[in-house]
């Protein structure tokens, strides 16, 4: 059952995988922004995670260690941001932009000897018998573990932010750092940990690109995925399930437009290429429209540094 040369089952299965980097990075950034920090360095953390993950995987031969390496690399880079903004109270927007430029530069330098190498492969998680089932096989059972991890993290973050004390404290810190401080919470320490978490998630997202999606090291491998992740967080109103929706929508249209290009539809390539960006933003804007102010969920202290004065 193909439609104009496009098989919907394959399409859905592919979009779930292609959305993973953006989804993981956006989930991490959701936590960071919920804690009141605007880290625009997602792209930089992703690309460093992609390189770090690639190097570790190539040298150790283990893709799992590679993802761990990507997480550590992303978190380490984010700690530079954390130190600058939380300890030295530097401007978050400027520091975040610098982090992106720094990450792109460093990864380009560090990746010099790694062009053209193939990383160890990551296979599908479940046995072939399940993955070969019609329809549900490719969509539900045919993925590598990172895809399941990204969905699990969506659910986990939703639950943590909504129902646990940690989540409540994170939201409180992002909502009003003065009030949180007055109640005795260590605002900057909590934010620092959230930033490191966001860095680790972006790093895993980046490692997915270099280890599974592409899979090899290419300069500037992220190609703007970090920026899309940032946009999705905002338009998803800082809610994990909507982040998932946004990421899948973007991933889906990306895959669809590639398929359409291959199938040779009459639509010019330029329009197809811009479609994912346009449609994702349009849909999320419509979803978040009409609920201004309190309902759109922007953390009230977003982007503001906190310094405990008297």
Partner 1 sequence: MTRPELLRVEGITKAYPGVVANSDVSFSIGEGEIHALLGENGAGKSTMVKMIYGLVRPDSGVMTLRGAGYAPSKPAEARRLGVAMVFQHFSLFEALNVAENVALGMESPPPMRELAARIRAVSEEYGLPLDPSRMVGDLSAGERQRVEIIRCLLQDPKLLIMDEPTSVLTPQEVEILFKTLRQLAREGTAILYISHKLEEIKGLCDEATILRRGKVVATCTPRERTAREMAELMVGQALKTPERRLAAKGEVALGVSDLSVESPIPFGTALKGISFTVAKGEVLGIAGVAGNGQDELLLALSGELKAAPDKVRVLSQPVGDLGPVERRRAGLVAAPEDRYGHAAAPDMSLVENAFLTAGVRKGLTKNGFVDWSGTRAFAEEIIAAYDVRTPGPDVAARALSGGNLQKFLMGRELMQGASVIVINQPTWGVDAAAAAQIRQSILDRAGEGAALVVISQDLDELLEVADSFAVLNEGRLTRPRPTEGLTMDEIGLMMGGAHGMEVAHHAG
* Sites for partner 1 among residues 288-307 (CB under 8 A): 293-294, 297, 299-300
Structure tokens at 85: 């903004």
Binding pattern for the stretch 168-197 against partner 1, x by CB under 8 A and - elsewhere? xx-xx--xx-xxx-xxxx------------
Closest contact distance (angstroms) between CB of 42 and partner 1 is 24
Closest contact distance (angstroms) between CB of 9 and partner 1 is 41
Closest contact distance (angstroms) between CB of 306 and partner 1 is 12
For residues 27 and 200, what is the distance between their CA atoms, to the nearest angstrom?
A: 11
Which CB atom, from 168 or from 262, has the smaller least distance to partner 1? Answer: 168
What pairs with residue 217 in β-bridges?
A: 115
Coil, strand or helix at 217:
strand
267 forms part of the interface with partner 1 (CB under 8 A): no
Closest contact distance (angstroms) between CB of 225 and partner 1 is 30
- Residue 59 CB-density burial (10 A; 0-12 exposed, 13-18 middle, 19+ buried): exposed
Closest contact distance (angstroms) between CB of 266 and partner 1 is 47
Part of the chain binding partner 1 (CB under 8 A), chosen from 5-13, 104-112, 166-174, 248-256: 166-174
Contacts made by residues 179-186, CB under 8 angstroms, sequence distance 24+: 181/306, 181/308
Binding pattern for the stretch 114-153 against partner 1, x by CB under 8 A and - elsewhere? ----------------------------------------
Q: Are 243 and 154 in contact (CB under 8 A)?
A: yes
What pairs with residue 6 in β-bridges?
A: 3
Residue count, binding to partner 1 (CB under 8 A)? 21
Q: Are 81 and 99 in contact (CB under 8 A)?
A: yes
Coil, strand or helix at 47:
helix
310 forms part of the interface with partner 1 (CB under 8 A): yes
For residues 93 and 220, what is the distance between their CA atoms, to the nearest angstrom?
A: 21
Closest contact distance (angstroms) between CB of 302 and partner 1 is 11
Which CB atom, from 60 or from 296, has the smaller least distance to partner 1? Answer: 296
166 forms part of the interface with partner 1 (CB under 8 A): no
Structure tokens at 100: 């992106």
Which CB atom, from 70 or from 299, has the smaller least distance to partner 1? Answer: 299
For residues 246 and 255, what is the distance between their CA atoms, to the nearest angstrom?
A: 14
Coil, strand or helix at 3:
strand
Residues in contact with partner 1 by CB under 8 A are 163, 165, 168-169, 171-172, 175-176, 178-180, 182-185, 293-294, 297, 299-300, 310
């Amino acid at each position: 059952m193909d439609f104009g040369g496009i098989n919907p089952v394959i399409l859905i299965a592919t979009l779930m995988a292609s959305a993973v980097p953006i989804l993981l990075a956006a989930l991490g950034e959701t936590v960071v922004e919920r804690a009141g920090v605007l880290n625009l360095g997602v792209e930089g953390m992703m690309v460093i995670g992609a390189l770090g993950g690639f190097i570790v995987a190539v040298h150790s031969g283990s893709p799992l260690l590679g993802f761990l390496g990507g997480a550590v690399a992303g978190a380490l880079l984010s700690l530079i941001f954390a130190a600058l903004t939380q300890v030295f109270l530097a401007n978050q927007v400027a520091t975040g932009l610098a982090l992106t430029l720094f990450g792109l530069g460093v990864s380009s330098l560090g990746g010099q000897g790694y062009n053209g190498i193939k990383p160890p492969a990551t296979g599908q998680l479940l046995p072939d018998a399940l993955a070969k089932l019609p329809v549900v096989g490719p969509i539900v059972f045919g993925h590598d573990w990172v895809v399941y991890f990204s969905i699990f993290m969506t659910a986990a973050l939703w639950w943590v932010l909504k129902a646990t004390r940690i989540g409540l404290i994170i939201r409180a810190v992002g909502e009003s750092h003065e009030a949180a401080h007055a109640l005795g919470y260590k605002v900057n320490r909590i934010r620092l940990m959230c930033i490191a978490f966001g860095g680790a998630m972006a790093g895993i997202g980046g490692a997915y690109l270099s280890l599974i999606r592409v899979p090899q090291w290419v300069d500037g491998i992220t190609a703007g995925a970090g920026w899309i992740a940032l946009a999705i967080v905002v338009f998803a109103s800082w809610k994990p399930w909507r982040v998932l929706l946004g990421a899948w929508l973007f991933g889906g249209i990306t895959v669809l437009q590639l398929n359409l290009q291959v199938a040779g539809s009459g639509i010019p390539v330029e329009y197809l290429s811009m479609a994912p960006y346009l449609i994702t933003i349009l849909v999320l804007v419509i979803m978040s429209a009409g609920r201004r102010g309190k309902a759109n969920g922007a953390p009230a202290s977003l982007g503001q540094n906190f310094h405990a004065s008297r």
